Chains A and B, each alone.
Chain A
Amino acid sequence: MNDDDLIQRFKPADRANHWLTAITMILAALSGLTLFHPAFFWLTNLFGGGTWTRILHPFIGVVLTVSFWFLAQRFRADNRITDADREWVRRIRDVVANRDQNLPEVGRYNAGQKYLFWIMVATIALLLVSGIVLWQPWFAPWFSIGLTRVAALIHALAAFVLTAGVLVHIYAVIWVKGTLRGMTRGSVSRAWAKHHHPAWYREVTKGTK
Chain B
Amino acid sequence: MALQSLDITRRSATTTPSPGVRETQKVAKLIDVSKCIGCKACQVACMEWNDLRDEIGTNHGVYDNPLDLTDKSWTVMRFSEVEVEQGKLEWLIRKDGCMHCADPGCLKACPAPGAIVQYSNGIVDFHEENCIGCGYCITGCPFNIPRISKKDSKAYKCTLCSDRVSVGQEPACVKTCPTGALVFGSKEDMIQHAEERIVDLKSRGYKNAGLYDPPGVGGTHVMYVLQHADQPQIYNNLPKDPQISLLVELWKGVLKPIMSLGLGLVALTGFFHYVTVGPKETE
Contact = CB atoms under 8 A, between A and B. Distances in A.
A81 to B, nearest CB: 22
Contact of A177 (B14, B150, B281): B281
B87 to A, nearest CB: 36
Contacts of B148: 136-137, 141
B282 A153 contact: no
A38 B247 contact: no
Contacts of B56: none
Contacts of A156: 251, 255-256, 259
Interface in B263-279: 263, 266-267, 270, 273-274, 277-279
A168 B270 contact: yes
Interface stretch (B96-104, B117-125, B134-142, B215-223): B134-142
Interface string A23-43: 000000000011111111100
Interface residues of B, number: 44
Interface in A31-65: 33-41, 44, 49-51, 53-54
Nearest to B147: A141
A134 B130 CA distance: 19
B248 interface: yes
Interface string A97-135: 110100000000000000000000000000000000010
A33 B262 CA distance: 13
A97 B139 CA distance: 45
Contacts of B266: 164, 167-168
A37 B260 contact: yes
Interface stretch (A14-22, A72-80, A187-195): A187-195
Contact of A195 (B135, B141, B282): B282
Contact of B13 (A38, A148, A167, A177): A38
Q: For this complex, into which size category does the number of interface residues on chain A fall?
A: 35 or more
With a 10 A CB-CB cut-off, give which of B144, B259, B283 has the most chain A CB atoms.
Answer: B259
A175 B272 CA distance: 11
Interface string B180-222: 0000000000000000000000000000000000000000000
Contacts of A53: 132
A130 B9 CA distance: 33
Contacts of B263: 33, 160, 163-164, 167
Contacts of B47: none
A34 B132 CA distance: 12
Contacts of A96: 273, 277
Nearest to A95: B280
Nearest to A29: B263
Given A38-B111, A51-B133, A164-B266, A145 B279 contact: no
Given A51-B132, A97-B277, A152 B270 contact: no
Given A41-B13, A145-B144, A160 B135 contact: no
B61 to A, nearest CB: 24
B280 A153 contact: no
A148 B137 CA distance: 11
B279 A134 contact: no
A51 B255 CA distance: 23
A148 B135 contact: yes
Given A136-B148, A152-B136, A98 B13 contact: no
A41 B111 contact: yes
B255 A38 contact: no
A175 B275 CA distance: 10
Contacts of B13: 38, 41
B225 to A, nearest CB: 27
Interface of A: 33-41, 44, 49-51, 53-54, 96-98, 100, 134, 136-137, 140-141, 145-146, 148-150, 152-153, 156-157, 160, 163-164, 167-168, 171, 174-178, 189, 191-192, 194-196
Interface of B: 13-15, 109, 111-113, 130, 132-136, 138-139, 141, 144, 148, 150, 153, 245, 247-248, 250-251, 255-257, 259-260, 262-263, 266-267, 270, 273-274, 277-283
22 contacts: A35-B111, A35-B132, A36-B260, A38-B15, A38-B113, A39-B15, A41-B113, A44-B132, A50-B132, A98-B277, A98-B280, A136-B133, A136-B148, A137-B148, A148-B139, A156-B255, A156-B256, A156-B259, A164-B263, A167-B270, A168-B270, A174-B279
